[in-house]
Amino acid sequence: MPLIQIKQLTKRYGENVVLDGISLDVDEGEVVVFVGPSGTGKTTLLYCTNLLVKPEGGEIWFDGQEITTAGVDLNKVRQRMGMVFQEFNLFNHLTALDNVRIGLTKVKGLSTQAATERAQRELEQVGLSNRTGHYPGQLSGGQKQRVAIARALAMDPKIMLFDEPTSALDPELIGEVLDVMLRLAKEGMTMMVVTHEMGFASEVADRLVFMEAGRIVEQGPPQELIHNPQVERTGKFLGRIGKLHNSLSAAPEESSL
Amino acid sequence: MLQGLIDVIPYLLQGTSVTLSVTLVALSLGFTGGMFLAVMRVYGPPIIRRLAAGYSLVMRAVPVLLVILIMSFVISAIINLPPFWAGSLSLALASSAYQSEIFRGAIIAIPKGQMVAARALGMGQPKAILNVIMPQAIRNAIAPWSNEAAIILKDSSLVYVLGVPEILRRAQYYSARSYEPFLAFGAAALVYFTLTFLTNRGLDALENRIRIPYS
Ligand SMILES: Nc1ncnc2c1ncn2[C@@H]1O[C@H](COP(=O)(O)OP(=O)(O)O)[C@@H](O)[C@H]1O
Ligand SMILES: [Mg+2]
């Protein structure tokens, strides 16, 4: 049974149909990357998956349980789904350590000592054991995003949702975040990732999903979608962001000439 | 003149503890009420939001002195309130309205992502408000809040109409007894100035202490 089953999910904002009957399964250990034009509903799909946004129609099943019915304790559900945001959303008044600790103490009810040990371990895993006492305002974007990943992982999630985790980063900081995600994927974490980092997608993703206007246009193994798309729009879009990606990663070499 | 000051200042200072008590009661109850109203106005269900907004609107539109008079002549006739409490509670009711505006602004200024991230961790809304929103809102609010503290400190003089022996009331006694209104009220002004100055200094220090580094 898939870890996540999304069936005929719909979401509207007023007249604007943002998700138009999305159906999708994500297996345990699978890494699914979502791409598509801006405003297509990728963020909304992730936010609906942990029900931070309530869909109008359809069902979501998580770990064998339907979470879109009444009476489900959503706080319990969200504890088992880690989320990482484009804008990091670290708690600004807390140090890196406290950012990772707060979920453990206030949500999971761990003792301060147990939470501290766990938080230190998670920060070490993302290469930030020397930044535990720093506030978000004292960290670079890449460091902030790694703290955010550590914060989510500390809760022992069954799945991680990433919403454009590197889009707000300076190009030279993208790698350090992708490295952490790569390691996570290798360790077998189930991941739903919205990103336009095609290098990451083709290397790490088990499946690439191309979305447009609230629908899934096409999905499949990344190499197949990139080199042999069945739908013309898929090829056009992937070709465009592929070129953009190449020119971006080529830029540093050019400028150093 | 100097002898007069030496005479009047200690007399007024005996009222300082009353002034500070009124101020402290009004500010702390006003803080609790104001924070509660602000949270209700931002996160409460629609009816509660409107009630809280209405309360704030009415309270801020009515002179504080009028609230004090209503409290002491109308409410005190029903439940027996000593003048000290009638005065302090009136100021607290008024201040809770002003403080609710301060805290509401401070809450709204917090980026949306803070609440979203808290909920994504599995925090319920009350826990998120308590652990993520309020600590940041209070920091945002300190500057306007010290202003409100100074206003309440000065407005505590209004309870003199109820005969509460705070600084102004004592200045008035002194003036009537010594026929030296300039000395009496001038000294009172000096005492208020000193208290307000020290309060603002203290709150500035607090603001610096709990400021979030590099933000
Ligand atoms: N809270 C909201 N209220 C109204 N419209 C929204 C809201 N959130 C997103 N939308 C709209 O939903 C559409 C999809 O947005 P989003 O999921 O962010 O797309 P993507 O992440 O693919 O760029 C957009 O047209 C956006 O304007
Ligand atoms: Mg988006």
Q: Which candidate from B116, B124, B212 shows the least CB-CB separation from A92? A: B212
**Per-residue pLDDT for B126 more than 60?**
yes
Task: Please report the ipTM that was assigned to this predicted complex.
Answer: 0.92
**pLDDT (tens digit per residue) in A109-165:** 999 999 999 999 999 999 999 999 999 999 999 999 999 999 999 999 999 999 999
Contact indicator for A85, B112 with CB cutoff of 8 Å: no
How many domains, in total, are found in chain B? 1
Asked whether the beta carbons of residue A89 and residue B122 sit closer than 8 angstroms, the reply is no
- Our CA-based measurement puts residue B124 at a distance from the nearest CA of chain A, in whole angstroms, of 6
Can you give the pLDDT at residue B112?
Answer: 96
Distance CA A99, CA A150 (A): 9
**Per-residue pLDDT for B214 more than 80?**
no
Residue B106 domain flag: yes
**Per-residue pLDDT for A256 more than 60?**
no
Distance CA A142, CA A205 (A): 21
Average pLDDT over residues B4-21: 89
Q: Which amino acid is at A217?
A: V
**pLDDT (tens digit per residue) in B62-102:** 999 999 999 988 888 888 889 999 999 999 999 999 999 99
**Per-residue pLDDT for B109 more than 60?**
yes
Host domain of residue B166: 2-210
Helix (H) / strand (E) containing B16: helix B2-43
**pLDDT (tens digit per residue) in A95-114:** 999 999 999 999 999 999 99
Residue B119 domain flag: yes
Q: How far is the CA of B160 from the centre of ligand 2 (A)?
A: 60
Residue at token pair 């995600």: A181
- Our CA-based measurement puts residue A93 at a distance from the nearest CA of chain B, in whole angstroms, of 6
Q: How far is the CA of B122 from the centre of ligand 2 (A)?
A: 22
Residue B41 domain flag: yes
Q: Which amino acid is at A130?
A: N
- Please provide residue A224's backbone torsions phi and psi, each rounded to the nearest 5 degrees: -65, -45
Q: How confident is the model at residue A242 (pLDDT cuts 50, 70, 90)?
A: confident
Asked whether the beta carbons of residue B122 and residue A75 sit closer than 8 angstroms, the reply is yes
Residue B139 domain flag: yes
Residue B42 domain flag: yes
Distance CA B120, CA A17 (A): 24
Can you give the pLDDT at residue A244?
Answer: 66
Give percent of chain B above pLDDT 70: 99
Contact indicator for B159, B68 with CB cutoff of 8 Å: yes
Q: How far is the CA of A215 from the centre of ligand 1 (A)?
A: 14
Residue B185 domain flag: yes
Residue B149 domain flag: yes
Helix (H) / strand (E) containing A6: strand A4-13
**Per-residue pLDDT for A249 more than 60?**
no
Which atom of ligand 1 lies at the shortest distance from residue A37's CA? 22
| B139 touching chain A per CB within 8 A | yes
**pLDDT (tens digit per residue) in A162-185:** 999 999 999 999 999 999 999 999
Can you give the pLDDT at residue A240?
Answer: 86
Give percent of chain A above pLDDT 90: 89
Domain with residue B37: its CATH number is 1.10.3720.10
Give percent of chain A above pLDDT 70: 94
Asked whether the beta carbons of residue B121 and residue A76 sit closer than 8 angstroms, the reply is no
> B107, B116, B121: best mutation site toward chain A, by most A Cβ within 10 Å?
B121
Asked whether the beta carbons of residue B213 and residue A79 sit closer than 8 angstroms, the reply is no
- Please provide residue B32's backbone torsions phi and psi, each rounded to the nearest 5 degrees: -60, -50
Residue B215 domain flag: no
Q: How confident is the model at residue A1 (pLDDT cuts 50, 70, 90)?
A: confident
